[in-house]
């Protein structure tokens, strides 16, 4: 490592950008300031919440509701008054933070909590040619990785674990775990009752199955004008927990090898007491702030760790619905589940528990249900502090251009050989990475049916993370984002359809589209190929994007170490990048685990130890890291 005098000189000259002023960000700003960094810019889009105060120590109760970036600045200036801190209370994806904005910094430091923003910053750093130090923590696990264009992997060189999805039929018909009931309650029922009524929803499927019966079930979710709210609540209850279950039972095949669920009707669980109870709600719990309306409070239930009985869950279910329709009427139709929305969590807990009771699955407390629904791993302040320290160490090396000492460092949950931190050398860029190299992707679609809109929304925006796309086929402009006039939209759609229609069927070679994100200055080529059929269960988009091959060195190393197909960055991201704003559960991607008696080698030791890895697929196992050093040595930076 370079001498300390040169580290202090690079620090004095440095202008750094921090993105995120949350758990990691507060620690990071403090450490940067105390290390002598004179010019720090911070972007954070959030305001301070009470739940941040236990670990985001720059914030106090009196700051709740204020900008994190601004309050963090003020707090640090109290003990380091002479440094420059520039706060931006804004989304890093805003157009003002473009490539030119990024170019002014010597290094960018991420303290973010979601994949979308991380990808965006990665691409801007690549375009602006500014090094990025990336980080993440989940509970006791954490990581700091270094991304320098052309020298190391970019943040997207390795595929990130997709949020876990469940087969639709498991959720709608055959749940076997509590998490299935939560996904049903949150993504289907809650969305159907309080979100956008027009969205596709598998509760509809169930309803229309029965459309031939005397009841016009399509209308069940529609609250009729003047319909008594409690009556409506019971109708929903009976429909989803009673009638739909009976309907499911009528398909005997399904239950041949499964335990049959039991229909539950509100009259069997509840007496008329509920109506009286509801009568008190208006006067006791009227409240202007929607998020503090609570069905639990209105029923005098206090402890979120209690597991409610079926009767209690049923009462919460009905009271929560009632409160949504009486106290939060304006939001109905626009709500999506938010783990910080007490009433939403109460409703989802109750609905999931009633469904669980029906399917013989153990019930859970609100606290547990909230953790599952919000995909919450409780944050550990110490992990954030350790990670922030490591970010600063790597930032200094980057500023010194001390390439051979760059390290990706992983914070483990359990020390092994007294080591809690595992540093590894960064990997070279993945030549097959569509972000930092020019490798095209392949997209299979049915060129007869595909719509430009679906391609843009499901592939370009959702999968490739492009915010402001522009799509070309040779010199034909197919699409550009922004406020495009309707007639232009039609022309673009016709353009794409024309291009697709001209493909010979079946297409073997494909047609190359160029997709460019104007803001990120990121270009990606997609080879479109025709495919006739898609498996609706597994390929619900009707399009399959592929072509992201593993790094060449992976294949070379296959015989040496199981699981080296992914870098350590990948292994750790499985643990660290729980997408907090995702409502589904993060996938248990393939995890790598060192045997208990393994020696995690220190960097100095590396020539001596060559431990093999086990590949495990068990969701509950601790994720630790790839300690195989052959692989590190072969990919060492030159």
Q: Which stretch binds Zn ion (CB under 5 A): 108-116, 153-161, 174-182, 491-499?
A: 153-161
Question: What is the distance of C-alpha 194 from the center of its chain?
Answer: 22
CA distance 532 to 450: 11
382 lies in the binding site for ligand ATP (CB under 6 A): no
Is 126 a binding residue for Zn ion by CB under 5 A? The answer is no
Of 386, 436, 473, 526, the one binding Zn ion by CB under 5 A:
436
Q: Which is nearer to ligand ATP, 35 or 91 (CB)?
A: 91
- Note if the bond before 506 is cis, omega within 30 degrees: yes
43 lies in the site for ligand ATP, by CB under 6 A: yes
Residue 433 interface partner, choices ligand ATP, Zn ion, none, CB cut-off 5-8 Å depending on type: Zn ion
**Chosen residue from 38, 46, 480, 493 binding ligand ATP by CB under 6 A:** 46
* 556 sits in which H/E element: helix 552-557
- DSSP letter for 192, please: H
Binding residue (CB under 6 A) for ligand ATP from 35, 91, 400, 612: 91
Exposure b/e, 226-244, CB count within 10 A at least 16 = b: eeebbebbbbbbbbbbbbb
Q: Which residue has the tokens 């597994």?
A: 538
Of 37-45, 142-150, 173-181, 471-479, which segment contacts ligand ATP by CB under 6 A? 37-45
Name the region of 403 (left: φ>0; alpha: ψ -120 to 50; beta: rest): alpha
Q: With CB under 6 A as the contact rule, which of the stretches 106-114, 295-303, 528-536, 552-560 interacts with ligand ATP?
A: 106-114
Query: Does the footprint of Zn ion cover residue 464 (CB under 5 A)?
Result: no
- Looking at the chain, the number of H-run helices and the number of E-run strands are 24, 18
- Per partner kind, with CB cut-offs from 5 to 8 A, the member of ligand ATP, Zn ion, none near residue 117 is ligand ATP
Among 133, 316, 435, 623, interactor with Zn ion by CB under 5 A: 435
169 belongs to the catalytic site: yes
Q: How far apart are CA 137 and CA 391, in angstroms?
A: 12
Has 384 been labeled as part of a binding site? no
Query: Which residue in the set 51, 129, 549, 614 belongs to the binding site for ligand ATP (CB under 6 A)?
Result: 51
Q: Is 22 annotated as a binding residue?
A: yes
Q: How far apart are CA 34 and CA 19, in angstroms?
A: 18
Q: Which of 26, 125, 169, 411 is catalytic?
A: 169
Alpha-carbon distance of 192 to 204, in angstroms, equals 9
Residue 166 phi, psi (nearest 5):
-115, 150
Query: Considering the rule CB under 5 A, would residue 526 count as an interface residue with Zn ion?
Result: no
164 is in an annotated binding site: no
Question: Which own/partner contact pairs does 610-613 have at CB distance under 8 Å and 24+ positions apart?
Answer: 612/561, 612/562, 613/561, 613/562, 613/563, 613/564
> Using CB under 6 A, which of the segments 87-95, 462-470, 485-493, 503-511 binds ligand ATP?
87-95
Q: Is 366 in the site for ligand ATP (CB under 6 A)?
A: no
Stretch that binds Zn ion, among 95-103, 151-159, 198-206, 309-317 (CB under 5 A): 151-159
563 labelled as ligand-binding?
no
Q: Which of 89, 458, 580, 609 binds ligand ATP (CB under 6 A)?
A: 580
Site for ligand ATP contains 23 (CB under 6 A)? yes
Q: How far is the CB of 424 from Zn ion (least distance, A)?
A: 18
- Residue 2 in marked binding region: no
CA 16 to chain centre: 26
Minimum CB–partner distance for residue 538 and ligand ATP (Å): 31
Q: Does 467 bind ligand ATP (CB under 6 A)?
A: no
Provide the β-strand partners of residue 135: 144
Pairing of strands 419-424, 511-517: unpaired
The dihedral formed by the CA atoms of 439, 441, 442 and 445, expressed in degrees to the nearest 10: -160
CA-based torsion, 189, 191, 195, 200: positive or negative:
negative
Is 114 annotated as belonging to a binding site? yes
In terms of Cα–Cα distance, which of 145, 327, 371 is closest to 229? 327
106 a known binding residue?
no
CB atoms within 10 A of CB 95: 11
Q: Is 154 in the site for Zn ion (CB under 5 A)?
A: yes
Question: Which of 624, 628, 600, 625 has the alpha carbon at shortest distance from 612?
Answer: 628
Residues at the site binding ligand ATP, with contacts judged by CB under 6 A:
20-23, 25, 43-46, 51-52, 68, 91-93, 112-114, 117, 379, 580
Residues at the site binding Zn ion, with contacts judged by CB under 5 A:
154, 157, 433, 435-436
Annotated binding site for Zn(2+): 154, 157, 433, 436
Positions marked catalytic = 169
């Amino acid at each position: 490592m370079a001498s300390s005098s040169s580290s202090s000189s690079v620090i004095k000259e440095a202008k750094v950008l921090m993105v995120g002023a949350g758990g990691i960000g507060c620690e990071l700003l403090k450490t940067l300031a105390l290390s002598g960094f004179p010019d720090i810019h911070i972007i954070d889009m959030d305001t301070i919440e009470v739940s941040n105060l236990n670990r985001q120590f720059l914030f106090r109760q009196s700051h709740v509701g204020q900008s994190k970036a601004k309050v963090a600045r003020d707090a640090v200036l109290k003990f380091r008054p002479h440094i420059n801190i520039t706060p931006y209370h804004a989304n890093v994806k805003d157009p003002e933070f473009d490539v030119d904005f990024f170019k002014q910094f010597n290094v960018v430091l991420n303290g973010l909590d979601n994949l979308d923003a991380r990808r965006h910053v990665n691409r801007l750093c690549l375009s602006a040619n500014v090094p990025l130090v990336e980080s993440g923590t989940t509970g006791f696990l954490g990581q700091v990785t270094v991304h320098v264009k052309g020298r190391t992997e970019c943040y997207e060189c390795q595929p990130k674990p997709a949020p876990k999805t469940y087969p639709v039929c498991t959720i709608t018909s055959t749940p076997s775990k509590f998490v299935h009931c939560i996904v049903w309650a949150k993504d289907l029922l809650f969305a159907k009752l309080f979100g956008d009524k027009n969205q596709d929803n598998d509760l509809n499927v169930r309803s229309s199955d029965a459309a031939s019966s005397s009841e016009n079930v399509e209308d069940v979710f529609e609250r009729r004008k003047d319909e008594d709210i409690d009556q409506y609540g019971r109708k929903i209850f009976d429909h989803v927990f009673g009638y739909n279950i009976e309907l499911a039972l009528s398909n005997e095949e399904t239950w041949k090898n499964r335990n049959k669920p039991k229909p539950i009707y509100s009259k069997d669980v509840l007496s008329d007491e509920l109506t009286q109870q509801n009568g008190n709600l208006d006067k006791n719990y009227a409240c202007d702030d929607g998020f503090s309306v609570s069905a639990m409070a209105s029923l005098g239930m206090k402890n979120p760790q209690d597991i409610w009985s079926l009767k209690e869950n049923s009462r919460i279910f009905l009271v929560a619905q009632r409160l949504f329709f009486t106290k939060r009427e304006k939001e109905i139709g626009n709500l999506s589940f938010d783990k910080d929305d007490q009433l939403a969590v109460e409703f989802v807990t109750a609905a999931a528990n009633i469904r669980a009771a029906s399917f013989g699955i153990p019930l859970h407390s609100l606290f547990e249900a909230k953790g599952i629904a919000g995909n919450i791993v409780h944050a550990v302040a110490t992990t954030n502090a350790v990670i922030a320290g490591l970010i600063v160490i790597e930032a200094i090396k980057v500023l010194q251009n001390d390439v051979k000492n760059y390290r990706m460092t992983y914070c483990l949950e359990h020390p092994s050989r007294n080591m809690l931190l595992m540093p590894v050398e960064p990997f070279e860029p993945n030549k097959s990475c569509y972000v930092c190299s020019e490798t095209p992707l392949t997209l299979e679609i049915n060129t007869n049916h595909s719509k430009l809109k679906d391609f843009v929304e499901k592939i370009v925006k959702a999968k490739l993370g492009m915010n402001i796309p522009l799509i070309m086929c040779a010199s034909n402009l197919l699409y550009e984002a922004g406020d495009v006039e309707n007639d232009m939209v039609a022309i673009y759609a016709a353009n794409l359809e024309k291009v697709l229609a001209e493909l010979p069927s079946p297409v073997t070679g494909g047609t190359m589209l160029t997709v460019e994100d104007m803001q990120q200055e990121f270009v990606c080529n997609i080879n479109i190929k025709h495919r006739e059929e898609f498996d609706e269960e597994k390929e619900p988009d009707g399009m399959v994007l592929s072509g992201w091959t593993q790094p060449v060195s992976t294949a070379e190393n296959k015989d040496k170490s199981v699981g080296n197909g992914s870098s350590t960055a990948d292994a750790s991201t499985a643990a660290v990048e729980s997408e907090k704003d995702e409502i589904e559960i993060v996938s248990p991607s393939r995890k790598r685990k060192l045997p208990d008696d393994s020696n995690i080698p220190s960097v100095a030791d590396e020539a001596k130890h060559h431990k093999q890895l086990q590949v495990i697929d068990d969701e509950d196992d601790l994720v630790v890291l790839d300690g195989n050093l052959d692989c590190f040595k072969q990919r060492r930076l030159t």
